[in-house]
Structures are given as structure tokens and as C-alpha cells.
Structure 1
């Protein structure tokens, strides 16, 4: 098999895996099912192994085929990405796999599905909403947005800005427990605390001082904190950007606004090195523009 035939076989194989059948792969390639099937068969002969289990109704990978796909698919994607680096915004295409923190999910998913997809219709989004710090490489993410400090890693980071963190509670909670008038009152209040690892985050003020609090609910989800605060469980420290509507409608009230908290740094991360695909750069620019109205001004 010459180099061109080998490359054709690789493309046919990957397309068949991702499309689920030879006929679907042929439609994507503008070819025929028999041509795709023959390309894969030539690749199998050259490798000396079966890549697919074929039947009249289904096409499934063998163990060897699955292992081969895991090695080959990223290489072909990298070739597409290399072409994309040289293109402009209009040429950006491909799947963009994103990890977003839960507390910013509603804001960003709204903006992405309303505006980003309209601006870049050739980019297919796959969005995961989680406060867990995903492993970009092992889990196959193109880019992640992180709220909070990022440990030293080999990934490329881009600062998006610093978002204000505030203390909030519901009117029902304040009617029942009273509004803290001092740091001592605040320390004695009931708190909804964010778990970072196995440890509840303290309240850290902009001047660097901090207090430990009494937790009535501890969770690793910012969205769970917001819901609990709305339900009158206690006081929560949340990103202002995530509770703008609740503050405007009076469903939540800011606590001790004259004692500002330390802001939260927000950044994007990717593992593409100095030359990420254009779709990653467009995403980073879009997120920066979306969060700019909520970020602290220098």
C-alpha cells in the first residue's frame, strides 16, 4: 500500500467509526459505501488485523480497532487543527469540547447558544458543566474555563479577568436570623460553604484577612450553593455575575457590601501549545467579551 492509499484508508476508518457506518462515512466524504469499505479492507490487510466486526445490520470495532482508533483519531484531528491555525474566523470548523464551571454555566451557555453558534456555524460545541477540574489531555477536552486559582500545569492559560465574589442570603433567612452587622456576627451565622477538595473554603476579604465559618450545608457545586441560598438555608459566597437577576428582583440580598471579598480570577486553559486551533482562540475571545461586563475594572 502506498502512502496515499494508507492515508485514504486511515480517513475512511476514522470516518466510519465516527459516523457509525460505511454509508454514513461515504456521505460525509462524498464517496460511495463500497469505496469506503474497500479502503478500510486495504488498511486491515496492511495492518494484518481486523478493525471492524461487520454484519448486515451493524458495524462495531474490534478490540484492536478500538485501540487503533484511540491512537489515530487525535493525529488526524491535529492535522485538521494545523490547517485551521492558518485560516480566518470564517474558516473555523470542527468539534469544540468545552468544560465550564457550574456557577457560570447559565450565563455562558445562554451566550454560546444564542450568539457563538450563530457567528461560527461550522463549529460544533460539546459542553460539559462541572466544577470538577477535568484533565484536558486524558479526558479529551479542547478548552476549559476555571474560576479560582490554577495550580502549576503544563497547559496554556489565558486570563479572562477577576470576577467579584459577594456574600448573599435570602430575605427569609435574614428575617429569621438577622443580618450580620460585624465580622463576629458573620462568623457566627449559618453558612453554605464551597468544598474545595475535602475542605470548606473560608471567607477571604479583599484586604487579605479571612474567617472560618460554621457550615449548615457544604457542597462542591456553586449552583447548589445558589439554590440553597434562595431557599433560605444560610449565607453563601457567590460570584456576583451568577446572581445578578436574583439581586435585582430581591430574591437575594448582598450581605456586608462595605467589606468586599477577594475577587475570583477566571482563566481558560488548553493543551495545544503556542498555536491552538482557531476555534479555541475564537472561544477564548468570545468568553472574555461575554464576562467583561462582570469583571472588575483595573
Structure 2
């Protein structure tokens, strides 16, 4: 007996008070989250003298691109002062290059070293493995601020202040979260796959490189995105050890730019224009890989 199209329709969900309240709470949370970003854009497209003129609408009355021109180095100091700036300059492309190098190196180092360590904890059998893994996990309970002073003393004694090795030293290797995240995934891979490769003559490194890594693109890409966002937004450590302009990161440069006019109010329009440009790479990264990040963040194995 054929089923009528009407009977195949899914039952409609009733819109109850709880569902309406949930949507209202979500809308309020979204508004609170996006409002600072919208106001940053509004300030970036507003002249410095028009920011505090009493017009607090979200769309500037007279939008301008002069702030972006100043940040990108296309305006002279005289033009910057005429636009309401302090005349301070930001070598945006140099600092952007430094931030990109810093982020890419940390992503490559952390993903690579964490993957090998996680595979060792998941598959290799050696004395003290579980104890060592517990010690690594205990690192999750140590606030990062506690390690800043010892790391700074070590980098200073090594002569790595104001160098890329000094910037990268605390982040380049593995982290407890990354090891735990990848280990949980590796534990879900059926051991029979590795046993079959071993019978065919593959060694541990070949199994890891040719079989495990290609099967782990989802968690590896998720870890890479999380690490990239963290590295791009890092401020405290680069501000301590990377004050030289040759290695100064974009985040640190924005802080210096905000303090460039101590006798007057900060150049808010120029600062917000630079912050808008600084946020674009991370925004594009999340737009491209956001769905994969959401789908993979709770993924711990292969079914």
C-alpha cells in the first residue's frame, strides 16, 4: 500500500514558551557578542574628530577610508595629523609578516610534535607511560601566568630576547591539551588497521606517517585552527620578549600605537582601523574552517 505524501511529512514542532525564551536568549547573547565588533567597524570608518561629536549611531554619518590609508602607510604624517591622528606610524606590513611567521611556526610545531607524542601515548607500550601521561595532563591545571617568569629568565640567559627563537620557545613544542585531544582520537582507530600494515612489513614510523596521519585530517585541522587563533591573539609573551621592531608582532604594535600620544587622547580611529585589519585573517580562517571546527571539537574516535 502506497504511503500518501501527507503521511510522510514530518510533524511540525510546536513553538512553546521555552523555545521562544531560548531564541530570545540566543539573540541577546549574539547581540552582546557582536556589538563591540560592530562598534569597532563604525569607529574605523569615522574621522577622529567625529567620534565624540554626540552621534552614536551604528552607521557613521560621513564614512571615510582615511584611517585605513594611514595604517597601511599611504598617508604622510602631515595628512595623519590633519585627519585627527597623532602623526605616529605603524609599519603594518612588517608587523603582519612577523605575526604570520609566528603563527605558522607555532601551528606546524605544535601539531607535528603533539601528533607524535599523542600516538606514542596511544599505541606504544613502555614503562611509566601512564604516569608520564598523567604528568602531562597535570599541566592543564597550571595557570600559564605561572610559567612566564621562569621562561623569561631562561630566554634571557640564552640570549634570545628580541629574537624569533625567544618568541617561539614556549609554544613551539607540544601542549597538554593537544596531546590529550589527539590521543583520544588515536585510541579510537581500530588496531587491526595497524596490525595489517605491520604484517605487510611497515614499521612504526611508516604506519604513523602513511596510515594514521591521513586518517586524522579532521582532528589535526581542528587543532591547527585552535592553535592558529591562540597564536594570532597572543600578547603578553611577545610584548615581554619581542620589543624590537624587527620581531614585533601586530598585537604588540597596536599597543605601542595606542600609547604613542601620551599628552592627548589615543588615536582611536587609527587604532580601530588597524584592529579591523588585524582581525580579518582570523575571521577568514574561521569562516573557511568553522564548520569543521564545530563538527570535530567533540570527536574522539572512528566509529
Between structures 1 and 2, the one with greater strand share: 1
Normalized per residue, which structure has more helix?
A: 2
- TM-score surpassing 0.5? no
Question: What is the TM-score when the length of structure 2 is the normalising length?
Answer: 0.22
Q: Could you say which structure has the greater relative contact order, defined with CA pairs below 8 angstroms and 6 or more residues apart? A: 2
TM-score calculated relative to the size of structure 1: 0.23
